[in-house]
Amino acid sequence: MTEKSPDISVVIVSYNTVDLIEACISSVLASQGLSLELFVIDNASSDGSADFVRGYYPAANLITNDVNRGYGAANNQALPECTGRYVILLNPDTTVKPDSFSIMMSYMESRPGIGLAGPRVVNPDGTRQDSISARYPGHRHGGDDLGVLPGSIACVLGACQIVRGDLLKSLGGFDEDFFLYGEDQDLCLRIRKRGFEIGFILDAVIMHHGGQSERKTLPEEVVRKKVRAEYLFYRKHYRPDTIRRIRKGQYFRAIWRIFSIRLLLMFIANKQIAQGKLAKYRVIRDETKSENRGTDK
């Protein structure tokens, strides 16, 4: 007798979140109303995350990497082994309400035109996180380059997404050129280009701490990673003249913000916040300038 495939495959990519992953996995395994399989891909954590999962959750399909391969590439490692009709991509700094996955699956079952959807995301204090976007990065300049796309949602937060398994596999999963940041927006756009809409599931709720895998990274380095991911997105989806307009706007906006913050710095009460903003806009200025040199050769 052939064993029935699970309803969903849950994929968690872990990187130095041993203090959070227990709550995440426990909440996944407590999900009600469906069958699931669980994959945990550890991206060379140095905090014992892989050993913890191996010791306490032997039912999880654990994949360990010798190096940090990035978020998208690590998710893709599990994809060939996923047998569920739906794949749920879940961050380790989340917890799931017991009925959320079954609500998410029912939503997808009743809406065949939805290719990927996200639940309502809340902070640890219960306040709502902004998890839906109607526009892509650089959309003001590049919207026309994308043409007419189905639905009104551009993307949903990558902390938790449910995707049709056959669709995700046919797309080859995430674009592995995105190491961290931007891969969720790119995936949502590619799904819409296939003719599917992106959905939002109000009744399904997850709690998300946010940014936990990057908590040891300097803030300006996080900004640098995000800017570089944005330009990868631009190069992939926008025309060269569109990218030039985006670069020009970002560069001069950064210059102006640096000038205005410096000018007003002596009058600003919280100088630490002001210095943080200065560091942010300096990174944007430098990265945009670097993009100019790289593409104008």
* Mean pLDDT in consecutive groups of 10 residues from the start of the chain, 297 residues: 82 95 96 96 96 96 97 97 97 96 98 98 95 95 94 97 98 96 97 98 94 69 92 96 94 94 85 88 90 58
DSSP state of 135: S
| Maximum CA extent, the chain | 76
Asked whether the beta carbons of 185 and 136 are under 8 A apart, the reply is: yes
Digit-coded pLDDT (tens) for 58-94: 999 999 999 999 999 999 999 999 999 999 999 999 9
Look at residue 297 in the predicted model and tell me its pLDDT. Answer: 44
Look at residue 289 in the predicted model and tell me its pLDDT. Answer: 86
Asked whether the beta carbons of 192 and 198 are under 8 A apart, the reply is: yes
Question: Could you tell me which of 221, 188, 156, 174 has the C-alpha nearest to residue 74?
Answer: 174
pTM over 0.85: yes
Report the distance separating Cα 69 and Cα 179, nearest Å.
7
Amino acid letter, 70: G
